[in-house]
Amino acid sequence: MLLACLSMVLWNEVCAEELEFSWQIQPTVCVNQHVGAQCHFTLSVQVQNQRQQEYCVYVVTLSPQQLFCSSEALLQKDLTLTIDGNTSLLLKNVQGETFLQQPLSVKSTQRSTRFRVNNPWSLF
């Protein structure tokens, strides 16, 4: 059982401790043109709920914000998010216990540092 869980982790799938929940989230990185700007992207969330318990998915930046709740055995949902830095998605049960966590990150195509055009020294 543990080996199956570990192999799923390698494929960006995470297992809960009792294997009650598993999920797959893609993509986990939002690519932005400018450093520090907000990033808009759509991600796909697939949740497998073996015991069909009630659960909720939250996005966490400074404080958790509930995105949706369900008790379906298999749920496929597309979410559009706007994030401005690294954040996380959480899957919690009704009692508020966190079962799964997936970090989301923002990457930029623009470099944050500039390189010198001229060499700082000369032989002549």
Counting the structural domains of the chain, the total is 1
Instruction: Confirm whether 117 is domain-assigned.
Output: no
Inside any domain, residue 73: yes
Does some domain include residue 4? no
Question: How many CB atoms are closer than 10 A to CB 24?
Answer: 16
Whether residue 118 is contained in a domain is answered as no
Residue 121 within any structural domain of the chain: no
Range of the domain at 86: 12-108
Structure tokens at 80: 């559009």
Task: Give residue 109's pLDDT band: very low, low, confident or very high (50, 70, 90).
Answer: confident
Per-residue model confidence as pLDDT tens digits over 21-54: 899 999 999 998 888 888 999 999 999 998 889 9
CA separation, residue 15 to residues 19, 71, 92 (Å): 6, 17, 13
Q: Is residue 122 part of a domain?
A: no
> Could you report the per-residue pLDDT of 47-102, keeping only the tens digit for each?
999 888 999 999 998 889 999 999 999 999 999 999 988 899 999 998 999 999 99
Query: Does 44 reside within a domain?
Result: yes
CATH classification of the domain holding 71? 2.60.40
φ, ψ at 53 (rounded to 5°): -85, 155
Helix then strand then coil, in percent of the chain rounded to 5, is: 5, 50, 40
